[in-house]
């Protein structure tokens, strides 16, 4: 694909969607003219040394009076662009509306779906409506998991396939030192159960708390560390204190690689995941992983993790207990993690996939 003008559009994001859009924009800007468009908070996270041009577009996570201005702004930004690549349902639907007006030079639209609709019937109905708006205009719809791809096809997508969302590369890290363990209130040799997640409804924090209560009886010496912040942090803290759970909330941590290296088992309790970056990083660190079998988690872990049904705290605790009590199993899982990590897509793979899709979409 020769030098093209590409717009990466994303909405508000406290998680990985905005980060993914920034990384794609920076990666593609080496050979193409790239504009990163989205809310100020997303734009602000871009490396100031990058060659990416930026512009603010107020795409929020819920309908706003400003949506009409956002559509007009997207339409203006898209003039002369070969491809607009929108990330998420809201950004995708607004981009579809903006590009639905016939123009002499048609701009291709690619939309990546990053999340499933987790919630009641009302939430799912709104999500289905937005998806129909997207599929009516998008040339290609990408999903970060197989269920999202199937959903896009069921709603009329012309072409849909699984997106590649690699974890950012990290240098191998040393486990926590003795002083660092003491600072976390850990005794020497005390087993560490680790969860790294944004503390939001999708992450299954109720399941985490229920499993922690069971773990306190089965492996009373274990400590469950939770790294990450989010809107449910205060609620989880209140539950931990009220039920005297063996859980330590760490908040945002700059030393996540060292936590992965120190953990006896890394646990994901999510209600849904696409291509979870935290699990990709755990695999690359050679961690023993236990996770709920939801969304695209199995597509990421393969047979490297012990996968359990969601909303089954007994099954989750049983799997965690096995890893903590069976050294041979733990060692096998760590080896499987390293092998699986070597098979996961890289940033170069993601770029190659997108450039092929952009070229095909731009040709109509």
Cα separation of 3 and 5, whole Å? Answer: 7
User: Is residue 62 domain-shared with residue 204, that is, in the same domain?
Assistant: no
Identify the pLDDT of residue 60.
Answer: 86
Identify the pLDDT of residue 122.
Answer: 86
User: Is residue 157 domain-shared with residue 230, that is, in the same domain?
Assistant: no
Average pLDDT over residues 30-35: 94
Identify the pLDDT of residue 2.
Answer: 55
Cα separation of 125 and 131, whole Å? Answer: 10
How confident is the model over 247-296, as pLDDT tens digits?
999 999 999 999 999 999 999 999 999 999 999 999 999 999 999 999 99
Q: Is residue 172 part of a domain?
A: no
Instruction: For residue 258, give the CATH number of its domain.
Output: 3.40.50.2000
111, 94 Cβ separation under 8 angstroms: no
User: Is residue 162 domain-shared with residue 261, that is, in the same domain?
Assistant: no
Per the structure, the complete domain to which residue 330 belongs is given by 178-343
User: Is residue 290 domain-shared with residue 200, that is, in the same domain?
Assistant: yes
Average pLDDT over residues 161-165: 96
In the β-sheet with 265-268, what is the strand arrangement from edge to edge? Answer: 247-251, 223-227, 192-196, 265-268, 289-292, 305-308
User: Is residue 56 domain-shared with residue 155, that is, in the same domain?
Assistant: yes
Residue 128: band (very low, low, confident or very high) from pLDDT cuts 50, 70, 90: very high
The structural domain count of the chain equals: 2
Name the least confident of 17-26, 169-178, 199-208: 169-178
pTM: 0.92
User: Is residue 351 domain-shared with residue 326, that is, in the same domain?
Assistant: no
User: Is residue 197 domain-shared with residue 303, that is, in the same domain?
Assistant: yes
> Hey, what are 328's tokens?
């041979």
Residue 15: band (very low, low, confident or very high) from pLDDT cuts 50, 70, 90: low
What is the average pLDDT score of the chain? 94
Q: Is residue 108 part of a domain?
A: yes
């Amino acid at each position: 694909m020769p030098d093209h003008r590409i717009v990466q559009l994303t909405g508000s994001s406290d998680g990985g969607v905005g980060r993914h859009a920034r990384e794609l924009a920076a990666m593609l800007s080496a050979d193409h003219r790239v504009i990163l468009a989205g809310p100020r908070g997303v734009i602000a996270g871009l490396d100031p040394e990058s060659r990416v041009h930026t512009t603010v577009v107020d795409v929020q996570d819920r309908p706003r009076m400003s949506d009409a201005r956002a559509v007009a702004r997207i339409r203006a930004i898209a003039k002369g662009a070969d491809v607009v690549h929108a990330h998420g349902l809201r950004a995708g639907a607004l981009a579809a509306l903006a590009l639905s007006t016939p123009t002499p030079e048609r701009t291709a639209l690619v939309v990546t779906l990053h999340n499933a609709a987790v919630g009641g019937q009302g939430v799912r109905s709104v999500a289905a409506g937005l998806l129909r708006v997207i599929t009516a205009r998008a040339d290609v719809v990408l999903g970060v998991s197989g269920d999202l791809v199937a959903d896009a096809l069921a709603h009329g997508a012309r072409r849909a396939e699984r997106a590649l969302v690699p974890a950012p590369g990290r240098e191998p890290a040393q486990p926590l030192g003795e002083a660092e363990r003491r600072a976390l209130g850990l005794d020497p040799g005390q087993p560490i159960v680790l969860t790294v997640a944004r503390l939001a409804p999708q992450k299954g924090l109720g399941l985490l708390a229920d499993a922690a209560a069971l773990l306190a009886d089965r492996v009373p010496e274990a400590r469950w560390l939770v790294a990450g912040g989010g809107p449910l942090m205060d609620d989880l803290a209140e539950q931990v204190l009220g039920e005297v759970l063996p859980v330590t909330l760490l908040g945002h941590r700059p030393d996540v690689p060292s936590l992965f290296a120190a953990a006896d088992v890394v646990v994901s309790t999510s209600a849904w995941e696409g291509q979870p970056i935290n699990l990709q990083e755990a695999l690359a660190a050679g961690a023993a992983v236990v996770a709920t079998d939801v969304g695209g988690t199995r597509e990421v872990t393969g047979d490297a993790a012990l996968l359990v049904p969601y909303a089954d705290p007994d099954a989750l605790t049983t799997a965690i207990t096995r890893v903590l009590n069976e050294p041979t199993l733990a060692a096998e899982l760590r080896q499987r993690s390293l092998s699986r990590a070597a098979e996961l897509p890289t940033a170069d793979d993601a770029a190659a996939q997108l450039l092929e899709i952009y070229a095909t979409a731009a040709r109509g």
